[in-house]
Structure 1
Amino acid sequence: MNKLMTSLGLALAVTAAASGLGLGSAAQADETDSGPWAGVVQSGGEFRIRVGADRAPEGDTVVRVRPKDGDTAVAEVGGFGAWRCMPDAESSCASVQNESAPFVLADMGMYDLDVVLNKGREDEQERAEAGSSFAYALNPRFGSLESSSPVLSYERRGGKASGTLLAEHPRTHEVKPLADAPVQLVVQSDRGTHATERLTTDGAGRFAALFQYNGYEANPSLQALFNPESGSYARAPQRTLGLQVRATPAQLTVRQPAGGIVGRYGSKVPVKGALTWTASDGTVRPLPGVSVRLSNEGCAQEQCGLSQGPSDAAGAFDLPYPVERDGSARVEVPPASNNGWFTGNLSTRLSVDATHTTLFSPLKVSADQNRTITVGGQLAVQQGAAPAGAKATVEVQLSADGKTGWKTVKTFTTPFGTTFSQQLKHTAEQDGHYVRLRYAGTADIGPAAPVVRLTRKTTQIVRDNLAPEDVRAGTQITASGYLQAKSGTAWLPVAGQKVRVYFKADAPGSAWTYQGAATTAANGSFSTKVTARSDGAWQIRYLDATAPYYIAIGREDHVDVV
């Protein structure tokens, strides 16, 4: 018989007798063969029990109903009809289901179900179905959810949560405590679930449990859920209680280094200190387990070697600071580790002096009208000296925003203390980019990286034209158009700039020759007369670009001379 029970793979469900609402609807029951799931009886007290199996048993099936954790059945539910096939994607009869006749119980409460297979036969077998408890009640709901500590503080981070669970009697509709019912108490915050406690209501429908927070959670709250084993949390009756936090006085103290951070480039200087809090009786105590963050001011974590860690049992912290540049560092309890639990001085600033770092002095970076960048200067060491005759590798890098995405576009070698000058081209797409020089030498000398922005602007000649385009030899024609400069995503007129007109005859071996010039007006327009003497191409060029503009070349326009 045990073999038969295993092969049948039974599952139970309690459903409404007709159209009553339940946590496990008939449609949901049809979609599973691995129950059970609990439901709610309908008004009037009737309910049915649905049984699912891998295959239909040979004899009669009944279900015995007994009070939760009780030994004696108070009812035996039968009336099962023909087993019904439940198809899936692979089979038209993947499993079978059956449903009992409607039944009414005398008392409201939690009940367990036992399945009896092949009743009255020699191979009759009764099986207690684990997890098949259901509430014989209507509209279960929480009458209350309270905390002995509605206002938390670091000194009092927990308390006792208690509440009551009520329901209506299915027949009398009297509201009574729901005894022996499963309740899940969830201790939560914005960080998610902090702890859970599975409880069972007593004879008066009451439940209670202790809870405790660490002392830095945001928006702490308690939540009570009825019948969480049903798997339908969203539908299950629930009650939430928000808890307030009263800030506790606290203090962050840096004990080392006392006068700021001083260290050789690439070294790690320990920053040590302690966190304390003040109790209601005025005593100052260690504050353990709270995160302390150490970072360069004004820098992102991935760029500036931020380090972070919790204070120990004595409230002490010891964080390494990687020395990479002059500036300042901040030691603090970050907001995510506070969330209103503490008040007071929880942040302090330390100056940073990085010794033995490189210096480009004097430094000159310029870009001419042809997009040629010139970098020049000398490479020296601050607060130290390079070995005599030592040479260094220097990288020229470009970045769109001057902060991220630096790309090396040229590398050269120069002796320390000797003037250098290097040139490189950049593209129109790199206009407005930032340029920096970076020393790429040994780890014990800092790679200084001064940053300069390219300020020249891209220009263009638009609506340029030579007209008319069919003329007699010696006829004057008009060269016209507009000169514009790019500003962000817009193109603005450029006034007071000289544009030149060039011509190249169609005859083989002809070269471009200068024919005349014009000056742009306030709206960027220009116009001048030139003489057409033979067939050929004409072009307008902005070659006399002054700061802050780059040169621009117009289109070729052909004119036929007859």
Structure 2
Amino acid sequence: MRRRSVFAAGVLAAVLVIISSPAPAQAADVLRVNGAYSDSPNPGTLVVSVTSTQPVASILAEVVTEDTGAPVAQASDFVLQSQTSDAAFWATSAPLILDALGDYVVHVEVTDVAGNHVRQERAGSLLYRVVTFLDGVTAAPSTVDYDRRQVTVRGTLKGRWPGTGEVRPLAEFPIDINGWDGTPPVSTAPDGSFSSTVTIFGPAPEVTATYYASLDRPYFEQSEPVRIPITIDPRQTRVTAKVDRTRVVAGRSVQVKGQLSWLTSAGWTPYANQASVIYFNLYDDNGCYATYGPTDTDAKGRFVADIVPSQTGYFHVVFSPNDPFNGRFIADSATRTGVVTVLPAGTLR
């Protein structure tokens, strides 16, 4: 009986503990301003990022100057732009219309439906800037060759103002066209137009036009570059070649000689004094090959090479330009010789 009484008392104590234990505490509401920033494509639109466990009831954004903190504008009409598992992004229902371009500080206050309130000083920035862009950019001619490498680039630089979205031409702005090759910038005319003639180089056959942001125009964004590929019509070349014998004992050499020419305005002329441009590929009937060279051309475009062939086959003689700037303006060319038969060593000739 005593043991049963102890057990009953223990059960009763446990029940009392369960009944008298307090309920788990409710998790505290979360309300946090993560940041504020200008949206695109209209920098006059302000976006505020908020993390909250309760629905947001109101947002107030104060736009002030960076240097003095003087008030510039307030915004309280926000619409939900997007949402993730961590935050909601609220954007002003209409772009802000400010009196002057500039980079402004933004303070934000948020209140949720439960009455929780938070104020975040310097929550972010409103970059009230002009978005610049290049319009109607053309390059003519679109094809260049060895003798004619210049291209004229034309277009217009425009700016889209924040807030209103008004588009205006931008005068006296520098436009960089293929600046990497040393071409100086060209200034836009009163109507925003520009024109510049540049020389096309083989390693980069294109024109690129850009307005780069500068310190003297701090509130005009850099434009997206406009790239126009240029086609190169290479100068045609021609290789002739022959071997001095068609049968050779293994270990002996054959002589391959020929001439390299190119097509100029005067017709086919020797392509003279080119270094390391002629290659010799010895092919057999199975498609296997061995490569020899390169070799040079002389003052009359001629070349000669003494080669010990490793197998029976023909020489595929190839010209490949060896000039990083002019190479793409000059076409490759090739020819083949007659078959050279390699006889076993000791075979009488």
Taking structure 1 as the reference length, what is the TM-score of the superposition? 0.32
Higher relative contact order (CA closer than 8 Å, sequence separation 6+): 2
Please identify the structure whose Cα radius of gyration is greater: 1
Taking structure 2 as the reference length, what is the TM-score of the superposition? 0.48
